[in-house]
Amino acid sequence: MNANAEEQELKDRLSLIESMIAEGRRSTESWGWTFVLWGVAYYVAIAWSTWGRAAFAWPVTMIAASVLTGVLASRRAAKHPETTIGRAMMAIWVGMGISTFILMFSLGISGRIDLHIGVAIVGAMLGAANATSSIILKWKMQFACALVWWTAGAVSCFISENQAGIVFLAAIFFCQIVFGIYGMISESRRHRQDASHA
């Protein structure tokens, strides 16, 4: 083998390593659907608590959404390998979910909750989780969602209950539904590009 061919083979090995590492990393990043699912769950809980039995609306809807997320995520996990980033994402969102659930449930039972406090807590929690995720994933759009949630949480402390409700509905629409759909579209675009490059 001459020197040029040998050099080319070594270069090929290096590019093979780079492409395989990238392949492993990019195949698991699909989060958009979870935002849409939870956005819909929030709307169901709000509608149920407004027009139905308020006491059961939030706990039942949140538990149902958690179970559904777990089932769908485990189905996806069977097709994709686990990554450190994936585990970090799961840790952030599960931790945030459990904290919010315990806090809201305790405040609900003790009767010390109202819409201002509810929106402030949810805004702060979702703001923190979105900000942390966006820094790990280097996703600027998600950081914008964190800013919206933080703003909604802070603003709800200074406005009327009805206004706080409207702020909450708007934040869910932009940060869950719109952002989730945007995430799903950009993920499917990326998967199509990956498939055409493969």
Partner 1 sequence: MPELPELNPVIHGKLRLALLALLAGVEEAEFTWLRARTGSTDGNLGAQLLKLEEAGYVAVEKKFVQRKPQTLYRMTEAGRQALTSYVQALKQLLGAAIGA
Binding site for partner 1 (CB under 8 A): 3, 6-7, 10-11, 13-14, 16-25, 27-28, 78-84, 86-87
Least Å distance, CB 193 to partner 1, is 16
How far, in Å, CA of 75 to CA of 97, rounded?
20
**Residue placing its CB nearer to partner 1 in the complex, 73 or 154:** 73
**Residue placing its CB nearer to partner 1 in the complex, 51 or 78:** 78
**Residue placing its CB nearer to partner 1 in the complex, 67 or 102:** 67
**Residue placing its CB nearer to partner 1 in the complex, 80 or 192:** 80
Burial of 89 (0-12, 13-18, 19+ CB in 10 A): buried
**Residue placing its CB nearer to partner 1 in the complex, 22 or 102:** 22
Least Å distance, CB 112 to partner 1, is 42
Helix (H, G, I), strand (E, B) or coil at 165: helix
How far, in Å, CA of 187 to CA of 198, rounded?
16
Q: What end-to-end distance do the CA atoms of the chain give, in Å?
A: 29
Here the tokens at position 71 are 């089932």
Least Å distance, CB 59 to partner 1, is 28
- Per-residue CA distances from 189 to 85, 135, 181, 183 (Å): 21, 22, 12, 10
Least Å distance, CB 83 to partner 1, is 5
Least Å distance, CB 139 to partner 1, is 19
Here the tokens at position 44 are 């169901």
